[in-house]
Amino acid sequence: MTSQEQRVSEFQDSSEESEYLAFLQKTAQQAQRLKEIQQQQEYKILSQEEDPTTYPSEIQRIREDLLEASTQLLYISEGEEPYEFIFIPNDQITSLPTNSIAFANLVKQCNTNIMTEEEKEIGESRVIAFQEFFEPFTGDNAQDPYGQKEGYKELQKIVAAIFGGKENVKVYKIGEQRRVGVYIVGLIKGIGIAGLKTISTET
């Protein structure tokens, strides 16, 4: 190998090493961010006034299944947010509201602690189809910066199974401000509405 070839080889090795180190640094930063968000979520869950042990047994099982499937996942919009379990007791309701305005009013009546002040400024109705919600995370062209694709596929299956099919699940977006509430919920007749909530950052 000539001295010129050796210098080229050393440069290539150095360039590849720099790219690899940059990749490792980015991965470490993403992992740290995920850990911080999960710690914040754990604190939030512990600080809530509601005691999950007071839920009906069926709701407790649903809560365990949904949290197990979603704990390691982040909702990616213009920000990154974890999921939390929600339960809206209502043994009289026979079907999910057809629009997000009616759903928001129902939440206000049953459990005002679920909604943020920003969400209470209800604007136009926004209901997302089940598949439309999951497609950005599970589709063939889905961007997957945190390696969540398989986790989202599993969550999609579990949510559909819990509520007897995706046609029984609604995804409501509530709020007109920067932080919009996203509710993925289904109805357990004679008990109430259960599911997951996260936040979509929209500017």
Nearest-angstrom CA–CA distance, 171 and 182: 7
Contacts of 83 (CB under 8 A, 6+ apart): 41, 66, 67, 70, 71, 73, 75, 196, 197, 198
Q: What integer pLDDT is reported at residue 8 of this predicted model?
A: 43
pLDDT at residue 171 greater than cutoff 80? yes
How far out from the chain centre does Cα 56 lie? Answer: 24
- With contact defined as beta carbons under 8 Å apart, do 187 and 95 qualify? yes
Q: Identify which has the larger pLDDT, 123 or 197.
A: 197
pLDDT at 1: 58
| Mean pLDDT score, 117-144 | 88
Q: In this structure, what is the dihedral angle of CA atoms 21, 78, 63, 44, given to the nearest 10 degrees?
A: 80
Residues in the chain: 203
- Tell me the pTM: 0.76
